[in-house]
Structures are given as structure tokens and as C-alpha cells.
Structure 1
Amino acid sequence: MALIHKEGYKLLLGAGLLLALATSLAWHFWPGLPATLISAGSGSIFLLILQFFRNPPRRISNPDDSLIYAPADGKVVVIEEVEEPEYFQDKRLQISIFMSPLNVHVNRNPLGGEVRYVRHHPGKYLVAWHPKSSTENERTTVVIAQQGQEVLLRQIAGAMAKRIRNYLTEGQHVAQGSEMGFIKFGSRVDVFLPLGTQIEVGIGQKVKGNQTVIAKLKEGQA
């Protein structure tokens, strides 16, 4: 697995060339302290962009589809029972993970199974913690089914994150922990689980994709 995600290749190349040009011009026209400051600033900007697209290897050593792993790095900001209107049209347990610009932005499948549903919805760019962001922002919804159990995942754009990538197609079979997609510059991922699911995290807890178990399904849940 590449340590830099493919979504960042073009941006890193373009930014690298522009920053290198700015540094070169600075040393040509303003040698000394001004050029040194511009060089340091250019290097800092490039490193900041680089960390947005880091892709650390995260393998699940013992896959277990009764366990729901975090689909993203970030902080748990919502745990509540809600009405899910798009697919289930009934009550579900929602866990929401907010990704700051400093988090890893790769999104991963929290369980394995068949992709039953994929929809992209254009929308607004409210801040990701806004209560209406889950239904009004640009978003992509995915449902994965495993042995009669369905889990809904929703990638949500935010005020900064306006580029959602999702790599799944309906009918595809995915492995637990494999890549689901990428949200550039952070935002939020919602997970909708059957009522009665055992929650393993708390509000404000920091989680890591493919490492933190956020819930445990009961046998026979759907």
C-alpha cells in the first residue's frame, strides 16, 4: 500500500512545482532572509498538503463481521437513535465520526459483504458538525449487507471538504477494512446500525480506521 494516497498525486505535483518556482524566484530576486523565509513557508505548505494525503497501512489481522470497525480516523461526535429516511426508512443507531484536516482522510469498509446500494447526492457545504449536514450537504450513501445484516455508511462533505470519492459499486463484494473512498480535507462519516447494536465507543472518543471497534452486531440483526 502506498504511503501517499492516489487522490493526492496531481495536487502534490502541482503544488510542488509552484512552490519550487516561488522558492527559486525568491532566491533570485531577494536572496538572504526574505528568500529563507519564503523557502521555509513553501516547505511548510508542502508538508501540510502532504499530511492530508498520507495513507498509513491499516490491516485488520482477524476480520470479524460481527465487529464494526471505524470507517475513518477522527472523533466521535454523535451517538443517537434517529430516523434514517433514505434507505431504511425506520429508526437506526447513528454513530458519526468527524475528521479534522489533520486526520487521515482514507475511508474504509467497516465490515465485509455485498454492496447493496450506492447513491451520490449533491448538496450544501455546511460545517460538518451542523445537525442538518447529514441530510443537506453533498454526500454519498453506501449500504453493505453481510449474512442478512445491513449497515449504512454516509460520507458527508463539509465547509472545506468539497471532493468526495467513493470507489464502490452496487453488487460488488468487499472485504472488511478495504478502501471505501476518500474525502479531501476532512469532514464526516456517519454509520447507521440496527437498533440493539452494542456500542463500543463514547462521545468525544478519538478513533482510527481499521483499528478501533465502534460497535458489535448481535447475531441475526438486520
Structure 2
Amino acid sequence: MSLVASVRKQLSPIHPEGYMFIAGFAVLTLILFYFSANLGWIGLILTAWCAYFFRDPPRVTPQRDGLVVAPADGYVCRLGHYVPPPELGLGEAPMQCVSIFMSVFDCHVNRAPTAGRISRIAYKPGIFLNADLDKASEDNERNGLLIDTPQGRFGVVQIAGLIARRIVCFSREGEQVEAGQRFGLIRFGSRVDVYTPEGVHLLVGMGQKTIAGETVIGDFMMADGQRIYREA
């Protein structure tokens, strides 16, 4: 393998959503260098961070019916039974929920936690509290997906944070998604909640680090056999 190919293999692709922001930081860096070398270096560091933030690395997703994978990079900040957002139409009874908080240093491309059909996408405007707070689930701007599966209905909610000001959803109602498939992105620090139907055995704990599309956070069939994997 050539040196160029080796370096390219180690670098993550940039998601197209980030091109405009990276270009903006780059232009600002050139302006700052014009006035001051020290300011220019600060701009260069910020440009590099922006490129890092919008990275979109490939992931290897385990393939088996009943597995639930993490929808986001980050750490588990909430576990338990909570009432899902009313706009998803999942009822008023508490459901098992896993919340994953993404810092500004995590990859912010979100992936489907399970295979199924997206039967509803519901956006709700709101405020911008720290996404690590429980209250953020109720008050913050959010975008929810309802995924119908043979095992039941899943709710996946993208929640804007204190810094995040833009939720992007790539999917459409009626679309069939695969586990680990990219469905959205949030800029620039946020959270994703997953509401699961009864019967899912959670396999993560509070504070655990997760990798979107790879970390198994739940399983319908704990005693099932060997898992297979797919790169997405």
C-alpha cells in the first residue's frame, strides 16, 4: 500500500453537511492571518476542529434480527422508563429509553438503531438547554422518528443542545431503513433518545461510551447464536 493510500485509509471522510462550515472557517482563517499570525493559527485550529467534527467514518454494524445498535457516538446519560414525546404517537405510558449525549468532540452523524419502516417523522421547535439534562427531552428543539419493526415500534429522537442549532434529517416517511444506516446529523452538541418496545434487554450502563452503528445497546434474543456484521 502506498503512503498516500495508507494516510487516506486513516482519515475519515467529511460529511457534505460540513463543507459550508469548513469553508467558512477557512476563509475566516485567511482573514485572521492577514491581520495577525497568532490569530491566524487560532483560526487554523478551529478549521481543523470543524473538519474533525463533520467526520463521517464507516461503521461495521452487527446484523441479526432483534439487535438494537447505538444511534449516536457519545456516552449513555440516561436509562430508565420515560414517557415518549407526544408527537410520535407512542402513547402516554412510560417506555424503556436509552439517551446518548454527544459532545462537540463526538461524531454527530446519527444512525438507525434497528431495521424497519419509518412511519412518522415529527419536528418540534423548542429552546436550547444543555442536552445532558433530563428536562431537555421535553423543552429542547427535537426531531423524532417512529420506526415500525416486527418486534414493535421504536422512537428515535434527535434533541438539540446548548450549542446545537440545527437538526438535519436525511430520511423520509415511508422509507425502509437498515440498522446502522445514516438517518441524520445534529450541529454541534446534542443528544439522541431511543424508546424501545417491551422485550428489549438493555446491554449498556450509565456513562458507557457508545459508537453509532456498532455498539449493541439492546437485544430481543439474548440466547441467540452467532452475529454477523456489515460495513455501512
What code does the residue aligned with 1:22 have? Answer: L
Corresponding residue for residue 39 of structure 1: 40
Match of 1:122 among 122, 125, 128: 125
Regions of 4+ moved over 3 Å: none
Instruction: Give SS of 2:39's match.
Output: helix
Residue deviations 1:45-70 (CA, integer Å, cap 9, x gap): 1111111111111132x422311000
Corresponding residue for residue 25 of structure 2: 15
Corresponding residue for residue 56 of structure 1: 57
Match of 2:139 among 117, 133, 136: 136
Residue deviations 1:141-190 (CA, integer Å, cap 9, x gap): 10111225211100000110110001121111112111110001121000
Match of 2:165 among 162, 169, 178: 162
Instruction: Give SS of 2:22's match.
Output: helix
Alpha-carbon distance in structure 2 between the residues aligned to 1:65 and 1:122: 34
Corresponding residue for residue 77 of structure 1: 77
Percentage of pairs with the same residue: 36
CA contact (8 A) 2:26 2:44 kept: no
- Of the two, which has the highest radius of gyration? 1
CA contact (8 A) 1:157 1:164 kept: yes
Matched, 1:65 2:75: no
Alpha-carbon distance in structure 2 between the residues aligned to 1:69 and 1:184: 21
Alpha-carbon distance in structure 1 between the residues aligned to 2:120 and 2:212: 22
TM-score when scaled to structure 1?
A: 0.88
CA contact (8 A) 2:112 2:179 kept: yes
Question: Structure 2: which 5+ runs fail to align?
Answer: 1-11, 223-232
CA contact (8 A) 2:73 2:108 kept: yes
Corresponding residue for residue 189 of structure 2: 186
Residue deviations 1:99-157 (CA, integer Å, cap 9, x gap): 00000000001111110110000011111122221121100010111225211100000
Alpha-carbon distance in structure 2 between the residues aligned to 1:138 and 1:192: 17
Alpha-carbon distance in structure 2 between the residues aligned to 1:98 and 1:202: 13
CA spacing shift, 1:218–1:149, aligned 2, 3 Å? farther
Alpha-carbon distance in structure 1 between the residues aligned to 2:186 and 2:58: 17
TM-align CA RMSD: 1.6
Q: How much has 1:83 moved relative to structure 2?
A: 2.2
Q: How much has 1:218 moved relative to structure 2?
A: 5.0
TM-score when scaled to structure 2?
A: 0.85
Question: Structure 1: which 5+ runs fail to align?
Answer: 27-33
CA contact (8 A) 1:91 1:195 kept: no
Alpha-carbon distance in structure 2 between the residues aligned to 1:140 and 1:85: 10
Alpha-carbon distance in structure 2 between the residues aligned to 1:114 and 1:205: 28
Match of 2:200 among 188, 197, 207: 197
CA contact (8 A) 1:133 1:156 kept: yes
Alpha-carbon distance in structure 2 between the residues aligned to 1:38 and 1:84: 46
Residue deviations 1:38-96 (CA, integer Å, cap 9, x gap): 33222211111111111111132x42231100000000011101222512112210100
What code does the residue aligned with 1:100 have? Answer: S
After the TM superposition, which of the residue ranges 65-74 and 43-52 deviates more from structure 2?
A: 43-52
